[in-house]
Amino acid sequence: MRQLISNCNRLAAAGSGSVPATIDDPFHASIMASHNRLVPLIVALPLFLQNIDSSAMATALPTIARSLNVEVLHLNLAITSYLLSLAVFLPLSGWLASRFGAKRVFCCAIACFATGSALCGIADSLTSLVLFRMLQGFGGAMMVPVGRLILIRRIEPSAMVAAMVWYTLPAAVGRLSGPLFGGLIVTWVSWRWIFLVGVPFGLVGIVLAMLFIEDDFDGTPPPAFDLKGFVLLALGLVGLLGGLETASKGLLPVWAAGLMAAGGALCVCIYALRSRRVDNPIVNLSNLRFATYRAAILGGSALFVAVGAAPFLLPLMFQLAFGLSPLDSGLLTIATALGSLATRPIVAPAIRRFGFRPVMMGAATLSGLCYMSYALFRPDTPHALMFAAMLFGGLVNAMGMVTLQTLGFSDVPKPLMSHATALSIMAQQVSVSFGVVLGASLVGAAAWLHGSAPGHLTVNDFSPAFVGIGMVALLSLLCFMQLDKDEGSKMR
């Protein structure tokens, strides 16, 4: 035990650079090699938790709706509340890490997320589930960006490529195993274990971070926090999405929901004007002057709307309209994650061969058409054919995302990279939230037109939704067409 503790201490010290690197110190070389694998895995644990939580929950939505005695389409509140909380509180992460230290904030964030998971596991109503999901979102908003910050600070540049391979592994495993995990949990035990299993993972993450990540807090005060900007942005996002959500569910009168959305839009506009006049805005919008970054934000948002809607709609259609079990539904929807994993060996050669702009436009076009093709699924459609369609859809969508993320930050100066990353993640989360709201609204509207009873949705209720989100994905072409045809040629 003493030897294990000694090795742990030396491993943490190696990460901080306090152990001298010498040619005659083979133990240090071994320690650094282990450190460059272990730290990325530790800071990627939140990505694993988030991905497996969200994808497993999507598979379990019909079961959760029956358990809580609510309409299944109303459960999209549990998804959008988490995503909205994530987007609202994400700008806090960088400032808190500077104020209290990245390691401390990272551990507290995991504890917050795990606490929210435990509370979600014992929720007895939709209201309590939504509130606890918001607590999860607050923790998630701190976990992922602060984890990336730790990775950048603790890993030497020469080892960063290898470290990123380890960093992306848990997230991929979470996306891949989530639908199947959700189906198994719902089939064998209770949906509550989807959330409860996050607690031991959270505890393990905290222990590993305490042992192997060096405390980097030096007491230097960060710039003054832009509280007014944070409040404006939070009110804007909550007003916009909250107004759309309440209008689609009939939770508020139409005039009240419209007023809420208009107030949110006004707050966002005020923030945009104000951010130009302050020295340290919580989210710097000036990066939108770069054409590639602007295309990544605006065009990417259209794609992320579909990315948010499809994982919500597919399990509902397979279980409610097709009559499949949660397990069979999970086995089918896993195809999208498999397709995204297959992108890695394809995207780089495709960019070298065709260039960024053609690949982005081709991926966006194929993504939109794939989402529209899901409207053709019927209960008697061979499962192999549906699996192949979703596999290809996941592949082309991931290809577009990877290309966007690579090109979008190419022109952003390093001093502005932190703000650019924050705005990018916020735009993604808001777009995914809007996608869930849009998908639920389109299905609800179609069900009302067709006279379908709540909880007894038909295939025809889902088809218009897939056509709609496919058309939204195609809107990204308007942004990509404005880029120069040789954009990013120096990166190929």
Supply the DSSP string of 179-201, one letter for each residue. Answer: HHHHHHHHHHS-TTHHHHTHHHH
Please state, for a pLDDT cut of 90, what percent of the chain lies above it. 16
Enclosing domain of residue 56: 1-14+25-215
Is 71 within the bounds of a domain?
yes
Is 449 within the bounds of a domain?
yes
Model pLDDT, residue 392:
93
Is 101 within the bounds of a domain?
yes
Question: Which of 240, 255, 281 is at the close of a domain?
Answer: 281
* Residues 297 and 236 grouped into a single domain: no
* Residues 54 and 128 grouped into a single domain: yes
Is 237 within the bounds of a domain?
yes
* Residues 328 and 338 grouped into a single domain: yes
Separation between Cα atoms, residue 243 and residue 91, nearest integer Å: 22
pLDDT at 381 exceeding the cut of 50: yes
Model pLDDT, residue 161:
53
Q: What angle do helix axes 383-408 and 344-354 make, rounded to 10 degrees?
A: 60
* Residues 64 and 197 grouped into a single domain: yes
Nearest Cα residue to 373 out of 354, 388, 355, 395? 388
Nearest Cα residue to 434 out of 479, 394, 473? 473
For residue 163, the domain's CATH number is: 1.20.1250.20
* Residues 313 and 178 grouped into a single domain: no
Express each pLDDT in 197-221 by its tens digit.
888 988 988 998 888 887 766 666 7
Which among 62-66, 84-88, 92-96, 279-283 has the top mean pLDDT?
62-66
Decide: 150 and 103 in contact? Cβ < 8 Å: yes
* Residues 417 and 382 grouped into a single domain: yes
Express each pLDDT in 326-346 by its tens digit.
888 888 988 888 887 777 677
b/e per residue 94-130 (b: at least 16 CB within 10 A): bbbbbbebbbbbbbbbbebbbbbbbbbbebeebeebb
* Residues 358 and 440 grouped into a single domain: yes
pLDDT at 466 exceeding the cut of 90: yes
* Residues 387 and 318 grouped into a single domain: yes
Question: Which of 167, 195, 215 is at the close of a domain?
Answer: 215
* Residues 168 and 297 grouped into a single domain: no
Express each pLDDT in 35-85 by its tens digit.
566 778 888 887 788 888 887 888 888 888 888 888 887 887 888 888 888
Separation between Cα atoms, residue 38 and residue 26, nearest integer Å: 18
What tokens does 112 get?
């917050």
Q: What residues contact 74, with CB distance under 8 A and at least 6 apart?
A: 65, 126, 249
Is 221 within the bounds of a domain?
no
* Residues 320 and 342 grouped into a single domain: yes
Nearest Cα residue to 91 out of 202, 182, 268, 225? 225
Interval 300-321 mean pLDDT: 88
Is 19 within the bounds of a domain?
no
Separation between Cα atoms, residue 190 and residue 64, nearest integer Å: 9
* Residues 103 and 244 grouped into a single domain: no
Indicate the range of 29-33, 46-50, 470-474 predicted with least confidence.
29-33
What pTM was computed for the model? 0.78
- How many angstroms separate the Cα of 358 from the Cα of each of 78, 224, 261, 298? 37, 43, 36, 17
CA atoms within 13 A on the CB side of 72: 25
Positive or negative: CA dihedral 117, 119, 123, 125:
negative
Domain count, the chain: 3
Indicate the range of 52-56, 357-361, 478-482 predicted with least confidence.
52-56
Express each pLDDT in 137-186 by its tens digit.
899 888 877 887 777 677 666 665 566 657 766 776 777 778 888 888 88
Separation between Cα atoms, residue 283 and residue 90, nearest integer Å: 10
Is 33 within the bounds of a domain?
yes
Q: Confidence class of residue 295 from pLDDT cuts 50, 70 and 90?
A: confident
* Residues 276 and 249 grouped into a single domain: yes
Separation between Cα atoms, residue 159 and residue 485, nearest integer Å: 33
Is 431 within the bounds of a domain?
yes
Amino acid code (one letter) for 392: F
Please state, for a pLDDT cut of 70, what percent of the chain lies above it. 84
Express each pLDDT in 240-267 by its tens digit.
887 877 776 666 777 888 888 889 889 9
Separation between Cα atoms, residue 198 and residue 115, nearest integer Å: 9
Model pLDDT, residue 385:
95
Q: How far is CA 477 from the centre of its chain?
A: 22
Q: Confidence class of residue 31 from pLDDT cuts 50, 70 and 90?
A: very low
Question: Which of 265, 281, 297 is at the close of a domain?
Answer: 281
DSSP for residue 489: G
